[in-house]
Amino acid sequence: MSDNRQIVIREVPDGPLRPDHYGEKAVAIPEPADGEVLVQTRAITIGAGQRAGLQGSASYAGAAQADVVMGGTGVGRVVASNHPGFAIGDAAMGMTGWQEYAALPGDSLTGVDGDLEPELLLGPLGTNGLTAYFGLLDVGDPQADETVVVSAAAGSVGHTVGQIAKIRGARVVGVAGSDAKCSLLTDELGFDASVNYKSDDFRGDFKAATPDRIDVYFDNTGGDVLGSALFRMNARGRIVCCGVVSQYDTANPGPGPRGIPGLLVNNRVRMQGFLVFDYEDRYADARTQMSEWLRSGELRPQTTAYDGLEAAPQAFVDLLAGATVGTTVVRIAD
């Protein structure tokens, strides 16, 4: 059979990620073993959290190793199957990694609607969207008229969090890293306010944007934004700990925010980490709800798309630099 192009980790980064931390390799297309399915990857998505998996020590994303195929979620079509649940031509989503073909246990794959664009399957209907859905609704539990603040608000998870919070009747404030992103949030996605965390007076702007303080803070960043939010929480506020993008792209994360745990005590704040994988038995219901919101136009997904497997390392670097908006997708085959 012809070649299977792969992007492999060449070197585990000890500072900011560069494209040359990756290399390209071509191997034979694998034969699916018993119970496995051979998937031709159509597109992959990249999430900032994957950077945590490149830090040498294990995180929820596992530990990085040089010379292995970079991991990640993709959608593709079945080209061979030794699993009763999948037939040639089916569309499937799973941990394809950054490669053109992947032989994966059929039990680890999700059958999806092949008529839907990969951007939808990997965005609002994929891990990003489900993360927003369960983190906001289950962990944050916003009520109508409460104030919800989300960081990395123009990102893959954040832009969905804010829109779901609006659907639930909350007042929504997004924190993002450029004026263009901030405008997108308020002008296109229905956020009530937005704050550029690179502003000279971020703390002042943040305070002005949260006159009724904060009931739910959905944290994708940690660091300074978390530190500021801690000082603005209302009594019985909830902080949803989803990601730590401010600390991924470094080998030496800084100390935690001041005021922990004192501010949690004074304001009876609940701060809770979660992983979307714990909600697997409710994915189907969540996808049904998200699909309805997509149809009604209440949820408007955003995507930054790259073409070609070889673009994946640069896409990841761009994502970490804050140069992408919404779900970052790399298209590999039609």
- Which chain residues interact with its own copies by CB under 8 A? 52, 59-60, 219, 222, 226, 239, 241-244, 247, 253-275, 278
Cβ 224 to its own copies shortest distance, Å: 12
- Who contacts 144 (Cβ-Cβ below 8 Å, separation ≥6)? 168, 169, 170
- Count the Cβ atoms, other than its own, within 10 Å of residue 126: 28
- Looking at the DSSP assignment, which residues form a beta bridge with residue 218? 150, 240
Instruction: Kindly tell me which of 122 and 239 has the beta carbon lying closer to its own copies.
Output: 239
Residues shown for the chain = 334
Instruction: Kindly tell me which of 116 and 264 has the beta carbon lying closer to its own copies.
Output: 264
Instruction: Kindly tell me which of 281 and 334 has the beta carbon lying closer to its own copies.
Output: 281
Rounded Cα–Cα distance for residues 216 and 168 (Å): 13
Instruction: Kindly tell me which of 65 and 272 has the beta carbon lying closer to its own copies.
Output: 272
**Backbone torsions φ then ψ of 73, nearest 5 degrees:** -90, 140
Cβ 206 to its own copies shortest distance, Å: 18
DSSP string, 124-177: TTSHHHHHHHHIIIIII---TT-EEEESSTTBTTHHHHHHHHHHTT-EEEEEES
Rounded Cα–Cα distance for residues 173 and 190 (Å): 10
Rounded Cα–Cα distance for residues 84 and 226 (Å): 47
Instruction: Kindly tell me which of 102 and 229 has the beta carbon lying closer to its own copies.
Output: 229
Instruction: Kindly tell me which of 27 and 265 has the beta carbon lying closer to its own copies.
Output: 265
Region for residue 55 given its phi and psi (left: phi exceeds 0; alpha: psi -120 to 50; beta: otherwise) = alpha
Q: Are 135 and 127 in contact (CB under 8 A)?
A: no
> Sign of the C-alpha dihedral, residues 23, 27, 33, 36?
positive
- Residue found by looking up tokens 């404030």 in the block: 173
Cβ 117 to its own copies shortest distance, Å: 29
Cβ 226 to its own copies shortest distance, Å: 6
Cβ 302 to its own copies shortest distance, Å: 23
Cβ 142 to its own copies shortest distance, Å: 17
Residue 274: CA atoms inside 13 Å, Cβ hemisphere, count? Answer: 24
Cβ 7 to its own copies shortest distance, Å: 25
Cβ 334 to its own copies shortest distance, Å: 36
Instruction: Kindly tell me which of 74 and 243 has the beta carbon lying closer to its own copies.
Output: 243
Instruction: Kindly tell me which of 7 and 161 has the beta carbon lying closer to its own copies.
Output: 161
